[in-house]
A = this chain, B = another copy of it.
Amino acid sequence: MNPSAEVSPQVLSSASGIVRIAVDCMGGDHGPSVTLPACQAFLAAHPQAELLLVGRPDALAAAQGWQRCAVVAASEIVEMDDSVEVALRRKKDSSMRVAISQVKPREDGVVAADACVSAGNTGALMAVSRYVLKTLDGIDRPAIATVMPNQKDGYTTVLDLGANVDCEPEHLLQFALMGSALVSAVEGKHNPSVGLLNIGEEAIKGSETIKKAGELLRSVANGGHLNFCGNVEGNDIFTGRADIIVCDGFVGNVALKTAEGLASMLSSFIKQEFTRNIFTKAAAIVALPVLNHFKNRVDHRRYNGAALLGLRGLVFKSHGSADAFAFEQALNRAYDAARNRLLDRVHDRIVETLQALPTAAPGGPQIPVAKTA
């Protein structure tokens, strides 16, 4: 690791107003051919930002001479199909791991970067992040949160998206608190609403775990520590009934992939219909501006950048197949989160709830005592 002269790692970003992001430039399906142009565009749009470009220096040569930017060398690459085991045990000098290490506080509490972004494979990114950074006090399991567009022309934040296949009610509460912190930090919403993903709106619906999670969330909401709006259903991801929707990682992953699959099918059907013959092609030319406007509105690239929440450091995950525009959005989300102190917010929210719950809800369910990771 050899940050060049342009940035000084000793400067605490939060004090100076500068936000510094470590970028795993080698990750994802495309590596530097996507990440470098995205970094360049991001720097141009954010005069207060600095980047640490992590990867093989020869592959990052194009970035030489860029302002507010330094290359941090890493000799290995976690491939998209590498197992967690390989990423964790065998590639200790991977660009992914080195990028994550930049957000780990040193002994004096100083961090080299405020957030880290990678398009590497999700399982490896979560495992390495967890290993290098550890979880926050009060968090048993980190979660992956992303946003999806909704009918209110806003976003719905959904978590978990696959980090945890089996969840206890306490984990769903932790997701609710972390999701609230994320939305208030990144979208500036005070006290955003949280819904529990279920298969009916009534409190008696769902599995035992979900029913217990509902009770727990209601009890925390009664104590004033959560804006819980009850059960929601799959379609509510898009109606915007809740700012945040919590679910276990299996269900969240299926919902996300189902939505991606449907969007992709509909988009290919529209294309087929408009290219069917000369008349439909003519219609397409006339309708093009409208169709483009529609396309931009639902462009999934705009929502790229999932947060890994619950760690002692900010890590954002880009889609592996992201192009430069999409990767830049992930950088934007990481920047907003760091600038608005997401890490402190998650920490404060958890601590507050932990301390207040026993008094706020006497006799109600208790959050398990915080584990030190």
Interface residues of A (CB under 8 A from B): 149-151, 162, 165-166, 197, 199, 206-208, 210, 233-239, 247, 249-251, 253-266, 268-270, 273-274, 276, 279-280, 282-284, 286-287, 289-291, 293-294, 297-298
Q: What residues on B are CB-neighbors of A239 within 8 Å?
A: 261, 265
Q: How far is the CB of A192 from chain B (nearest CB, A)?
A: 19
A166: chain B residues within 8 A (beta carbon): 207-208
Flag if B235 contacts A264 (CB, 8 Å). Answer: yes
| Cα separation A234 to B235 with both chains bound (whole Å) | 15
Q: Quick one: given A238-B264, A262-B263, A263-B262, are A254 and B197 in contact (CB under 8 Å)?
A: yes
Q: Which chain B positions have C-beta within 8 A of A276? A: 290, 293
Q: Which residues of B contact A284 (CB under 8 A)?
A: 287, 290
| B258 touching A199, Cβ below 8 Å | no
Query: In the assembled complex, how far is the CB of residue A352 from the closest CB belonging to chain B, in whole angstroms?
Result: 31
Name the contact of A254 in the complex, choosing from B151, B234, B238 (C-beta under 8 A).
B234
Select from chain B the residue with minimum beta-carbon distance to A207.
B165
On whether A265 and B151 interact (CB within 8 A), knowing A258-B234, A287-B283, the answer reads yes
19 more CB-based (< 8 A) A-B contacts, given A199-B250, A236-B261:
A206-B250, A234-B255, A235-B257, A238-B264, A247-B254, A255-B255, A258-B259, A259-B262, A262-B263, A263-B266, A269-B294, A269-B297, A270-B294, A273-B297, A274-B290, A280-B290, A283-B287, A283-B290, A287-B287
* Contact indicator A238/B250 (Cβ below 8 Å): no
Assembled-state Cα–Cα distance A258/B251 (Å): 11
How far does the alpha carbon of A273 sit from the alpha carbon of B249 in the complex, in Å? Answer: 34
In the bound complex, residues from chain B placing their C-beta under 8 Å from that of A255 are 234, 254-255, 258
Bound-state CA distance A135–B237 (Å) is 35
Which residues of B are found within 8 Å of A249, using beta-carbon distances? 199
Once the chains are docked, how many angstroms separate the CA of A251 from the CA of B198? 9
Contact partner of A269 among B207, B236, B262, B298, CB < 8 A? B298
Measured between beta carbons, the chain B residues less than 8 angstroms from A234 are: 253-261
Contact in complex: A237, B266 (CB < 8 Å):
no
B294–A289 touching, CB < 8 Å:
no
Q: Tell me the smallest distance from the CB of A248 to a CB of chain B, in Å.
A: 9
* Assembled-state Cα–Cα distance A270/B294 (Å): 6
Most B Cβ at <10 Å: residue of A149, A233, A238, A260:
A238
User: Which residues of chain B are near A298, meaning CB under 8 Å?
Assistant: 266, 269
